[in-house]
Amino acid sequence: MHRHKKRLQGVSVPRSGHHLLEKLLVSYFGPQIYCDYYDCCREIPCRYKKPFSKHHDLLLELANESDTQYLIQFRRDVQAQFESYFRFFEVQYADGDRQFEVQNHFPYFQNYHGTYVEKYQKSGDPVDRLNVYHQFVLDHRQWYREFVEKWMSVETTNVHFLAYEDLVNNPKLQLGRVVRLMFGRPPIQFWKIPKIINRQNISFKNILKDSDLYKPGFCEHFGLQDIQNLLLQR
């Protein structure tokens, strides 16, 4: 494996393609490159010196250290971010309530099933589901706003941005870019990249406008138009 120059701290809004990027990098370099944080050591930097680390900054307490490179992953479409995040929890709780290890350490994740999914699972009413989704947006709007303002309004050379849309549309380009962030300019083995990408079947699996949760004027309705404008610049 190439000797990295500086560690790369991933900071992502949930459902922004971090897991996809992780799979690409692990396929290229091997599993020794990646620290999940939540299921690894819960230390920054990684206790095991893995050079690429995951973090969602759920408590908005992650520091921006000048000697660390940060990769901020997000969806450029605000509504797509919330819709995908909500569907993720629907899948997690499709068979009823369950306990995740991360819930023991981050109050942010506690009682998602009882607060959201259970309410419409019982009724089976799509109107109930839509209402619960809108409540989900309202409940998470402030954290999301503060995350974006904290990480995406900065203009420093150690903070880099990777939109989900860009990763899906051109994974070869973005994988090469991330490799260079971590290792300077190594002799990238370009022959490996198409094979790695082809194994992942990368595409947009869900179309927002086809979703039952799609809402015209979403950002205006939820007071997120300024955040949407900021993301479009990244």
DSSP readout, 182-230? HHSS----TTHHHHHHHHHT-S--S-GGGSTT--TTHHHHTT-HHHHHH
Q: What is the pLDDT of residue 12?
A: 96
Taking alpha carbons only, the member of 133, 142, 151, 128 closest to residue 218 is: 133
Q: What is the pLDDT of residue 1?
A: 44
Q: What is the pLDDT of residue 104?
A: 65
pTM, two decimal places: 0.90
Q: What is the pLDDT of residue 39?
A: 87
Taking alpha carbons only, the member of 147, 154, 174 closest to residue 21 is: 174
Spatial distance between the Cα atoms of 1 and 194, rounded to a whole number of angstroms: 19
Q: What is the pLDDT of residue 102?
A: 63
Q: Check: CATH 1.10.40 for 1-234?
A: no
Q: What is the pLDDT of residue 30?
A: 87
Residues of the chain with pLDDT under 50: 1-2, 4
Spatial distance between the Cα atoms of 119 and 121, rounded to a whole number of angstroms: 6
